[in-house]
Amino acid sequence: MIKRLLIPTYGLLSYAVFLVSMIYAPGFFGNTLVSKSIDVGAASSPGQAFLINLQLIGLFAIQHSIMARQRFKQWWARHLPAPCQRSTYVLLTSLLLLLLFWQWRPIPVVVWSTSGIAAWLLVGLYWMGWVLVLASTHMIDHLDLFGLRQSFSAMRGTEPLRPAFRTPLLYRLVRHPLMLGFLIVFWATPEMTAGHLLFAVVITIYILIALQFEERDLIAEFGATYQQYRERVPMLLPRVLRRTAAGRGGAVPDESRATASPPSGG
């Protein structure tokens, strides 16, 4: 009985910490609404800021990657009740994000700056990125992604259903709309500073690598269904945009094929 109450309480607390980080994030990356943002904070030399910031991203990336892998999940299934696992992952991810927001050092060298209509368009694109992020979590399974479904199943004393493979709406346009939303958020800014650019470049590389591993797991789980999906639907750039780019003379590589062989290991 105690376990049945403790597990959902833990799940709700983890979700609350996640909400705090996700409510703060748009202000942090958009340099708006909050006092400590990506371009505002304690002054340090560019070299020191660079090193501290790299460590903050590194911590987040290491935790996020290790805990998302099947081998790690099998290992900690022996130490932690199954319904708490996703909540713990969400809790640690959110705490590391909050640490990054708090400790991030600005490097205020301006790389590009826009004004007028271009600036407004970039701000609009930035907020569209967040809408894409939020919508995508609901299209896959918001409650499962953030551990709430598992917690409530424990409260009812039932086994949570394994999430099914799904391709609703945005997932018919690209395979990773949630990550596409994040990439838009990190790059769409009217004024790009060196600190912001550092974050955008490193996290983009990280996301592109992490997606190879995620797809490897998805193929292991859903087999031919996911393979066919991969052949049919582009990874991040919708076909209509790729055709436009190709029409303008830009050579657009086929992402589906480019990612056909995920890296080994991990």
Ligand X SMILES: C[S@@+](CC[C@H](N)C(=O)[O-])C[C@H]1O[C@@H](n2cnc3c(N)ncnc32)[C@H](O)[C@@H]1O
Q: Binding residues for ligand X, per CB under 6 A? A: 136, 140, 145, 163, 165-167, 171, 176-179, 214, 218
Secondary structure (3-state) at 168? coil
44, exposed or middle or buried, with CB in 10 Å at 0-12, 13-18, 19+? Answer: middle
**Which residue do the tokens 């797991």 mark?**
217
Nearer to ligand X, 167 or 212 (CB): 167
Give the C-alpha separation, 167 to 222, whole Å: 13
Residue 149: CB minimum distance to ligand X, A: 12
* Residues facing residue 112 across a β-bridge: 192
Residue 172: CB minimum distance to ligand X, A: 10
Residue 63: CB minimum distance to ligand X, A: 14
Nearer to ligand X, 141 or 191 (CB): 141
Residue 64: CB minimum distance to ligand X, A: 10
Nearer to ligand X, 39 or 214 (CB): 214
**Which residue do the tokens 């709406």 mark?**
169
Neighbours of 151 (CB within 10 A): 25
Residue 20: CB minimum distance to ligand X, A: 18
- Reported in sequence order, the residue ranges of 35-106 that DSSP labels E, i.e. its strands, are none
Q: Which amino acid is residue 162, in one-letter code?
A: R
Nearer to ligand X, 56 or 133 (CB): 133
Residue 158: CB minimum distance to ligand X, A: 21
Nearer to ligand X, 57 or 134 (CB): 134
Nearest in space to 154 (alpha carbons), one of 1, 7, 2 = 7
Give the C-alpha separation, 42 to 70, whole Å: 39
> Helix %, strand %, coil % for the chain, to 5?
70, 5, 30
Nearer to ligand X, 120 or 165 (CB): 165
